[in-house]
């Protein structure tokens, strides 16, 4: 498979598109990994099962994008997923945090899904096949992820004042990193100039806030005012991600020549 990048002649644009796809793949891999850690430990059996499906789909989405990036330098999806140093990953820091309480995971998913839906729309409009087509297909599964988060968020916040307080604290904690989802690099400027990315950073932020605001206020939550905490898109990740990567690669590193 040639992958999406082969068709882009301009090396600068190709590099920028690669970075965009890598962000997407890494976001999905990291959040998928975190969600998979809930398997067996959910608040009820049914939600355990549902969250586990979401995790599997996210990892599946990561693989789809790694498959598009890989051919550019001959990497397999597994090599991309497991084989880079922490600084080479382009996911947002929000997604690498440990799961914490259920409310944090639900808040995180509720903040991430509108961003991911927006990104898939933009990829779908990029004009670059097969990525554009794949993005439109994946959006079908994302819808359920958002539904799951919103349905849970509503129920966590409506029962008691203390409950809403807990969720508000989780939201306050997540907000700066959530804004980090929108962090841009020179790659974004290049892609916009090349007509591949059809939205300015300001428009992207507005679109995400417009999507997220009614979900949060509808649950009686206050929108935090904190500033963005950025760095993930440039490869700045914390100890939680380093530990996660060590764990993810533990078996592979035990026998580097082996097939699994």
- Give residues with Cβ within 8 angstroms of 247, minimum separation 6: none
Q: Work out whether 107 is an interface residue with other proteins (CB under 8 A).
A: no
The answer to whether the CB of 171 falls within 8 A of the CB of 213 is no
Radius of gyration, alpha carbons of the chain:
18
Does residue number 257 form part of the binding site for other proteins (CB under 8 A)?
yes
The answer to the question of residue 166 lying near other proteins (CB under 8 A) is yes
Name, in order, each residue with C-beta under 8 angstroms of 132's C-beta and a sequence gap of 6 or more: 123, 124, 125, 126
Question: Is the Cβ–Cβ distance between 229 and 179 less than 8 Å?
Answer: yes
Residues numbered 118 to 147 that lie near other proteins (CB under 8 A) are 144, 147
Residue 14 CB, shortest distance to other proteins, in Å, is 24
When asked if residue 52 is in the footprint of other proteins (CB under 8 A), the reply is: yes
Shortest reach from residue 101's CB to other proteins, in Å: 6
For other proteins, which stretch binds (CB under 8 A), given 6-14, 56-64, 87-95, 115-123? Answer: 56-64
194 close to 10: Cβ distance less than 8 angstroms: yes
Which residues are CB-neighbours of 171 under 8 A, at least 6 positions away?
Answer: 107, 216, 221, 222, 224
Phi, psi of 43 (to 5 degrees): -70, -25
Q: How far is the CB of 217 from other proteins (least distance, A)?
A: 19
Least CB distance to other proteins at residue 54 (A): 8
Q: Is 77 in the site for other proteins (CB under 8 A)?
A: yes
Interacting residue ranges for other proteins, rule: CB under 8 A: 33, 36-37, 39-50, 52-53, 55-56, 59-60, 62-63, 66, 77-78, 81-82, 101-103, 144, 147-148, 151, 155-156, 158-160, 162-163, 166, 244, 247-248, 250-252, 254-255, 257-260
């Amino acid at each position: 498979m040639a992958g999406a990048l082969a068709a882009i002649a301009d090396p600068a644009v190709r590099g920028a598109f690669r970075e965009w796809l890598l962000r997407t793949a890494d976001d999905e891999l990291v959040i998928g990994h975190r969600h998979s850690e809930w398997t067996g430990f959910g608040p009820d059996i049914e939600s355990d099962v549902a969250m586990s499906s979401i995790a599997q789909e996210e990892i599946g989405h990561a693989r789809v994008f790694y498959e598009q990036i890989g051919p550019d330098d001959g990497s397999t999806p597994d090599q991309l997923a497991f084989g880079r140093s922490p600084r080479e990953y382009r996911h947002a820091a929000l997604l690498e945090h440990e799961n914490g309480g259920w409310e944090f995971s639900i808040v995180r998913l509720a903040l991430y899904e509108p961003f991911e839906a927006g990104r898939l729309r933009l990829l779908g409009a990029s004009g670059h096949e097969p990525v554009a087509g794949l993005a439109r297909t994946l959006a079908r599964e994302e819808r359920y992820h958002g539904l799951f988060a919103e349905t849970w968020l509503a129920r966590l916040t409506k029962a008691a004042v203390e409950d809403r307080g807990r969720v508000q604290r989780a939201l306050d904690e997540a907000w700066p990193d959530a804004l980090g989802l929108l962090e841009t690099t020179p790659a974004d400027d290049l892609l916009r100039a090349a007509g591949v990315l059809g939205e300015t950073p300001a428009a992207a932020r507005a679109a995400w806030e417009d999507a997220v605001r009614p979900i949060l206020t509808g649950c009686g939550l206050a929108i935090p005012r904190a500033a963005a905490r950025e760095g993930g898109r440039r490869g700045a990740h914390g100890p939680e991600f380093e530990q996660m990567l060590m764990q993810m690669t533990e078996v592979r590193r035990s026998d580097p020549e082996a097939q699994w």
